[in-house]
Amino acid sequence: MFDHAEADPTLDPATFDRLEKPLRTELVLQQYQLLERRDRAILLVIAGIDGAGKGATINLLNEWLDPRHVRTLAFGQPTHDQQKYPALWRYWRALPERGKIGVVFGSWYAPLLRRAYAGRLTDQELLTAAERLRRFEALLAAEGVVVVKLWYHLSREAQQARCERLDADPDTAWQVTPADRRVVKRFTRIRRGAERVLRATDHVMAPWHVVPSADERCRIATTAQQLQAALTEPLPVVPPVDTFAPAPDRLSQLDDSTKLDKPTYQQELLHWQGRLSRAVRTPQFQSRALVLVFEGDDAAGKGGTIRRITHALDVRQYRIIPVGVPTDEERARPYLWRFWRHAPRLGEVRIFDRSWYGRVLIERVEKLVSEAQWRRAYDEIVEFEREWVEHGAIMLKFWLAITQEEQLKRFHDRERSPFKRFKLTDDDWRNRELNPQYRAATSDMLEYTDHAHAPWHIVATDSKRRARIDVLRTLVERLEAETSPRG
């Protein structure tokens, strides 16, 4: 894998001079076309042996390209606060919008590489991590973020010679970092660790490219050529999702008969709110988070249910995220970006009033996305939820169902109420007409995204009181089980 690079190939000055001008011209031209086209963002992952010229590459890119549309995304060890969010959060947050180029230093490979260099990465760990990153990168690629992974490499001798040359002059010695110096001693281990990680994470949606770096001209030319390919080549073809059988209707067997009288309801409400307020104040909860997802039919009572929950919470501890029309910053990035913005922080509660399921509900039914897009969304969503859950989030998803008759009754109630009629829009009536389509989409969603780490709970809401207590009880029992001192 590294043989070619460790032969320290060079590019003679004459060839480089002939290459340089057309390459620069082409790159900056392509950059402006990208800005016009906005069909993709580029993520250039800069990794490699310390002392191979990664830092110099950034200066080069900023000189060759229009730097106003290039963003350097550099990540160090996660800070105390960053550790309270899922690991991929900070990379998601920094994603450039389509039309722009992001240059990534200290990427999601850095933690893995550190462990591999130190010989503390088992094959099983590597396999698990690689699969996770493969999915992350494949999702980005499918959503128009071209991930180009460059590994800067050179022979041990060339690395050592470069350090010694810079070190000899006090005016350039600052360019040699402690990490550069460590490479000399640990070259074999670093090389072996890097090879394992690169082989495990090389895949068709985001392959690795080794850049020979002993010779500056060779390093520059290779970098520029890779970037040019990313700018001009067709977007990677997303492998089609296996066809799936439409799911059976899971909403028809709902028991919506039992009602709750008002005194019992109020007693139960206070009881469960009390338990909820205690459950989120335990020391155990401080290393967990709570994510609640509310989806459901119009007028099924999402808002009222959410208020019964937040009533028991400290306002500093929770955030409600109402999901509506995306902003232009959101539209210019992969679909899930707008939800990663609101990733849970340990010790806190996030309540989504509608959610990422919009993709397989309204966007599917209204044909705002292609069939290929919503079909692959099921897997992407499950993976996305897993990222949050594995970091400590307790995730519950509620589907609030209502019968057609009760919905009609509530619509009419809204029409008659001067301060509720604003809640009723033409879309609500239209959605009623589309009920069969929504029902099919809902059944598929419940079938394909119901998984142990983030189960769906279907709640019949014709009896509002019963429904609110059902939600609170489900939530509190799960929360208590997951945060019991022995759990």
What is the token pair recorded at 99? 């039309």
Which C-beta is closer to its own copies: that of 58 or that of 369? 58
| Closest to 226 measured CA to CA, from 238, 239, 213, 237 | 213
Is residue 152 a contact partner of residue 213, using CB atoms and an 8 Å limit?
yes
Give 68 or 367: the residue with its C-beta nearer to its own copies.
68
Nearer to its own copies by Cβ, of 89 and 374: the residue is 89
When the beta carbons of 209 and 414 are compared against its own copies, the nearer one is 414
CA distance linking residue 310 with residue 294, whole number of Å: 13
Residue 185 Cβ vs its own copies, minimum distance, rounded to whole Å:
22
CA distances to 85, 233, 418 from 414, rounded to whole Å, are 40, 54, 8
Q: What tokens does 151 get?
A: 């590994």
Give, rounded to a whole angstrom, the gap between the first and last alpha carbons of the chain: 46
Long-range contacts of 16-20 (CB under 8 A, 24+ apart): 16/217, 16/220, 16/221, 19/221, 20/221
Output the smallest distance, CB 85 to its own copies, in A: 11
Q: Name the amino acid, one letter, at 192.
A: R
Give the interface with its own copies as residue ranges (CB under 8 A).
Answer: 21-22, 24-25, 27-29, 32, 55, 58-59, 62-64, 66-69, 72, 74-76, 79-82, 105-106, 169-175, 177, 267, 270-271, 273-274, 277-278, 303-304, 306-307, 310-312, 314-317, 319-320, 322, 324, 327-329, 353, 418-419, 422-423
Least distance to its own copies, CB of residue 282, Å: 13
Tell me how far apart the alpha carbons of residues 486 and 282 are, in angstroms, rounded to a whole number: 13
Q: In this complex, which beta carbon is closest to its own copies, that of residue 318 or of residue 378?
A: 318
DSSP, collapsed to helix, strand or coil, labels residue 326 as coil
Is the distance from CB of 150 to CB of 225 less than 8 angstroms?
Answer: no
Strand order in the sheet with 70-74: 70-74, 101-105, 41-48, 145-153, 208-212
Shortest distance (Å) from residue 26 CB to its own copies: 8
Q: Are 44 and 72 in contact (CB under 8 A)?
A: no
Distance CA 358, CA 59 (A): 42
For its own copies, which is the closer residue by CB, 138 or 349?
349
Q: 448-467 b/e with 16+ CB inside 10 Å = b?
A: bbbeeebebbbbbbbbbbbb
Question: Shortest gap between Cβ of 58 and its own copies (angstroms)?
Answer: 6
Q: How far is the CB of 151 from its own copies (least distance, A)?
A: 17
How many Å apart are CA 483 and CA 274, to the nearest integer?
Answer: 16
Closest distance of CB 327 from its own copies, Å: 5
Comparison of 454 and 476: residue with beta carbon closer to its own copies: 476
Shortest reach from residue 268's CB to its own copies, in Å: 10
Q: How far is the CB of 101 from its own copies (least distance, A)?
A: 12
Q: Between helices 156-168 and 178-200, what is the axis angle to 10°?
A: 160
Residue with tokens 């044909």, as numbered in its chain = 367
The most distant pair of C-alpha atoms in the chain lies apart, rounded to whole Å, by 90
Q: Which is nearer to its own copies, 20 or 447 (CB)?
A: 20
Q: Which is nearer to its own copies, 74 or 127 (CB)?
A: 74
Pick the closer one to its own copies by CB: 156 or 423: 423
In a 3-state reduction of DSSP, which class is residue 88?
coil
Cβ at position 174, least distance to its own copies in Å = 4
